[in-house]
């Protein structure tokens, strides 16, 4: 019988923070109360992020 070990979610890593920092206006957002499928589990968080990006693109909000 083989044993399958599932990965346990870890806190945000330095690599994830590094990816966000590499983008000129990037940021790393941790969405609470969700799993891997954030758009399905927390569509409100995804919509808020999209609206923020649109507002910044239109010059209506400052960069992060």
pTM (2 d.p.)? 0.63
pLDDT at 42: 93
pLDDT at 48: 92
> H-helix or E-strand containing 38?
helix 38-41
Map tokens 């209506």 to a residue: 60
DSSP code string of 13-41 = PHHHHHHHHHSTT----PPSS--S-HHHH
Quick check: 15 pLDDT over 50? yes
Per-residue pLDDT tens over the stretch 33-61: 888 899 999 999 999 999 988 888 888 87
30 vs 5, residue with greater confidence: 30
């Amino acid at each position: 019988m083989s044993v399958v070990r599932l990965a346990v979610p870890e806190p945000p890593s330095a690599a994830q923070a590094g990816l966000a920092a590499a983008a000129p206006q990037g940021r790393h957002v941790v969405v609470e109360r969700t799993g891997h499928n954030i758009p399905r589990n927390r569509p409100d968080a995804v919509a808020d992020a999209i609206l923020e990006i649109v507002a910044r693109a239109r010059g209506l909000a400052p960069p992060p």
